[in-house]
Copies of this chain bind each other. A is one copy, B any other.
Amino acid sequence: MEGGNTKTGQKIVVAVDESRESMHALFWCLSNLVSPTSNSTLVLLYVRPPPPIYSPFDAAGYMFSGDAISTMEKYGKDLVNSVMQRAEAVYRNFNVKVERVVGRGEAKDVICNTVEKLDADILVMGSHGYGFLKRAILGSVSDHCAKHVKCPVVIVKHPEEN
């Protein structure tokens, strides 16, 4: 048991989104939890919001066209690619196996379910500093996950957002 970093082959889920904070969390994870000998797998988890239920008419009474809906779907997919590309720029110089998972639904539920389903060893995520009021009333995603997942949870804040 001499030394440390004795655990190998761990599955580390990192929840990523559009925020700088989540990219910082990813970098923190790579710098602190992954070593060349640890043989860890990093699972990048991005959660798309649940599909909106479109009324055939918008607020102004105009009918939504199929085109508009497919444009919004395409925007969502572009966002996934954009986030994954930003993540790749962070992990590309680290010697680590990376898997990508894209979920859909309420972020807090999808993250908890994915961690459980994958039997992950660690969950890493940004704190999502929504400010006192929103956090106090709604609870944040990280609060929820810290309470509900079984494995250790690392909550990382962006230094400039403190």
- Give a binary string over A73-97; 1 marks a CB under 8 Å from any B CB, 0 the rest: 0000000000000000000011110
Our pick among B4, B38, B96, B151 for the contact of A34 (Cβ within 8 Å) is: B4
Q: For the complex, give the distance between the alpha carbons of A31 and B31 in Å.
A: 15
Residues of B within 8 A of A117 (CB): none
Residues of B within 8 A of A1 (CB): 93-94
Q: For the complex, give the distance between the alpha carbons of A87 and B51 in Å.
A: 49
If A33-B32, A143-B143 touch, whether A4 touches B38 (CB-CB below 8 Å) is yes
Q: For the complex, give the distance between the alpha carbons of A103 and B10 in Å.
A: 35
Interface residues of A (CB under 8 A from B): 1-7, 25, 28, 30-36, 38, 93-96, 122, 127, 135, 142-143, 146-147, 150-157, 159, 162
